[in-house]
Structure 1
Amino acid sequence: MKRILITGAASGIGLATARLFHRNGWTLGLTDINHDALVELASELDQCWHRQLDVTDDIACRHACQEFAADSGGLDVLFNCAGILQMGHFEDISAEQHKRIIDINVTGLINMTLAAHPLLQDSNSAAVINMSSASALYGTPHFASYSASKFAVRALTEALDIEWGRQGIRVLDIMPPFVSTPMLTEASFRSPVVDRMGVNLDADDIARTVFQAATETAPVHNPVGGVFKLMTLSNKLLPSRATRLLMQFMSRE
């Protein structure tokens, strides 16, 4: 039986992914900073292994990985799903909040990936799946720090796919555009680009892509949704100025 450890498992994409893998018979490890929501999910999914976790705490990340592996007999897939988003004009977001976005989306992902590495080396089907975004394709107005964090995730994924591929560990990312999750729908500021591009995906759509990436051969970058796949292709074929002009148009106020 395959074993997956999911961060940010108590809501949104992490929640949908946990339910999908559970239905398919995987052994689950669930972590989230929201203790009450995590306990409720673990109860729903046959009291599977779970721990409250702040991914910015590297020692806690190491303990969580070790404890799950000890409980389940190992680790096959790490899904780095924990992340936060704040939309708004760059100057209206505090330095503290910009830092928090980077700390969780980048440093937290690094902490978990480092902690999982020695355990993944013992698996015959090891993979790290990182939650990236369409915002990693081109810097997105009103998402500046979030976009920067996902650029970092994209670069880290590419580098580790080569480094760790030599060790038998696949590293890949999932790149959806806007997804109907509380992180987006409950935001206090709504960027014009969200309404112009539309929110055409839900958490279950992303969960299915994660499951496919975990169980089949998949590329390093996995764009989700027809519109974004088309944008990704056009970004390769057309000058970068075209993407910039598109972003200018889509984000105008």
Structure 2
Amino acid sequence: MDSIFITGAGAGIGLATARLFAAKGWFVGAADRDASALESLRQEIGSGNCSVHVVDVTDEGAMQQALADFASHSGGKLRVLHNNAGILKVGKFEEIGVAEHRRIVEVNVIGLLNVLHAAFPYLRATPGAQVINMSSASAIYGIPDFASYSASKHAVRALTEALDIEWECHGIRVCDLMPPFVNTGMVKVNEGESRLFTNLGIKLVAEEVAHEVWSLVHRPQLHRPVTFQFRALWPLVRVAPAGLTRRIMRYLWTSEA
């Protein structure tokens, strides 16, 4: 049986992904800080189809133990690692406390490093292993009102690119998903803090992104923009002069919808 380990599996994209892969017959390792959410997931998909791990991705030792526990249920194999855990705080940079900026980096970047490091032995032991990191459309250019979050997703993109080269010799493919705003609790609680939500819209739902994870498993690519519109714009954005991208971003940030 193929296996997937998902961080941030208690809600939103992670929960939708866990449900989808379980329905497809995969063994699911679900990690999250929310014990009650994980217990609900276990009851929903069945304890024989999953293992649940109450853990904070920023805790290196706890992540190593969680992956070891998962591997004890999966025969030491890990076909797909889905690094989904992340947090968001939107607003003017100077009005967000340094502790909150630091927490974003700790979860979205240091947490990612912890999980990748802990998962590597099990990925290496699994033919066709794959990592799917959750990046973001905000990894294209620094996003006002999202400064530290956007910076963290630039880091996710860079890690994806670097490890896809480094881990090729181990037979591990590393990819990322780059969705725009997704209608999850994390986004909704921040919705009133930036005009960008109104100007760009919150059009995706978690289940759509989960299906993109499934598609990426079967058709890997380094970066996968989510939504048809973003896929069409992606090649243009990558070659556009930085000054042009800046003007567009500034317009979206300041204009009234």
- TM-score by length of structure 2 reads 0.95
Residues 1:92 and 2:85 are matched in the alignment? no
Pairs aligned (count): 252
Q: Secondary structure of 1:184's match?
A: helix
CA distance in 2, matches of 1:96, 1:12: 24
The aligned amino acid for 1:210 is: V
Native 8 Å contact 2:191 2:197 kept in 1: no
The aligned amino acid for 1:13 is: I
Q: How large is the Cα RMSD of the aligned pairs?
A: 1.1
Partner of 2:197: 194
Residues 1:14 and 2:17 are matched in the alignment? no
Partner of 1:62: 64
CA distance in 2, matches of 1:76, 1:206: 19
Partner of 1:135: 138
CA distance in 2, matches of 1:155, 1:51: 28
Residues 1:152 and 2:167 are matched in the alignment? no
- Structure 1 stretches of 5 or more lacking a match? none
Instruction: Give the C-alpha shift of residue 234 in structure 1.
Output: 2.0
Partner of 1:252: 254
Identity %: 47
CA distance in 2, matches of 1:249, 1:225: 22
1:76-116 per-residue CA deviation (whole Å, 9 max, x = no partner) reads 11100000000000001000000000000000011000000
Matches within 5 A, 1:93-242: 93-187=96-190, 189-214=192-217, 216-242=218-244
The aligned amino acid for 1:196 is: N
Instruction: Give the C-alpha shift of residue 188 in structure 1.
Output: 6.4
CA distance in 2, matches of 1:187, 1:245: 24
Q: Secondary structure of 2:250's match?
A: helix
- Structure 2 stretches of 5 or more lacking a match? none
The aligned amino acid for 2:236 is: S
CA distance in 2, matches of 1:42, 1:141: 39
- TM-score by length of structure 1 reads 0.97
Instruction: Give the C-alpha shift of residue 70 in structure 1.
Output: 1.0
